[in-house]
Amino acid sequence: MERIFRRAGLKLVMSEGFHPRPRMRFSEPLSFGQVGLNEVMDLVVIAIDDPAQLKERLNQKSLCGLEFKHIEILKDGDEKLKARSFCYEVVIPSDLRDRVAVKIDRFLAEKNYFVERARREQTIDIRPLVLNLRLEGCQLQMQLQATQDAGVRPKDILELLDLSIESRRGSVLTRTAVQL
């Protein structure tokens, strides 16, 4: 990202210290093996004249498959990016769809659903953190609330639906949106 910004002529604000880095932050990093379609990042720059012109320059200097879709200028007093929820999709093989649909209905009917976090030795109720969960054709779609504490992860949902990597037959978990 840093090289793309430099090639586009963007003047970045750098961190202090022995190894200065551009002051940029993604809203929430993707887990290993996930794809992100609409990711969001904070970037501190010295000045931007025209966001539309900058977006065009960034897309010209970007890698194939990486597209900048929107640039918004935040003023100094504005609140930094904070994700409210994340949307994910994964393709479900046709022979598993009926079983998954039944498990989704059971989960959504529950008031609570607890999972254990082994590292933190705590139990978390993930049910209120699942804002949307549905099977739309061959796509499992989920919207999960973002939290500052330990929250729900897409892996939790896939496990409760008994969808291992093997059962999904190579379909990739894709984060389709970050909602601020």
Average pLDDT per 10 consecutive residues for the chain, totaling 180 residues? 90 90 84 86 85 93 92 75 90 93 96 85 91 95 89 90 76 90
The pLDDT assigned to 108 comes to 96
How much is the CA Rg of the chain, to the nearest whole Å?
A: 20
> Domain segments of the chain: what residues?
2-61, 85-179
Measured distance between the N- and C-terminal CA atoms of the chain, rounded to whole angstroms? 22
| Residues belonging to the chain | 180
Residues 6+ apart with CB under 8 A from 92: 100, 135, 138, 139, 140, 163, 168, 171
| CB-based contact 120:62 (threshold 8 Å) | no
Among 3, 103, 19, 110, residue whose Cα is nearest residue 58? 3
- The DSSP annotation for 83-105 comes to --EEEEEEE--GGGHHHHHHHHH
Residue 132 in tokens: 């949307």
Distance CA 38, CA 70 (A): 10
The pLDDT of residue 166 is 65
Residue 135 is predicted with a pLDDT of 96
- Give the C-alpha distances (Å, rounded to integers) separating 91 from 72, 98, 123, 134: 32, 14, 29, 12
- What fold, for 85-179? Alpha-Beta Plaits (3.30.70)
Residues 6+ apart with CB under 8 A from 83: 27, 28, 40, 146, 178, 179, 180
- What pLDDT was estimated at residue 59? 95
What pLDDT is stored for residue 69 in this prediction? 92
Look at residue 150 in the predicted model and tell me its pLDDT: 74
**pLDDT in the model for residue 180:** 85
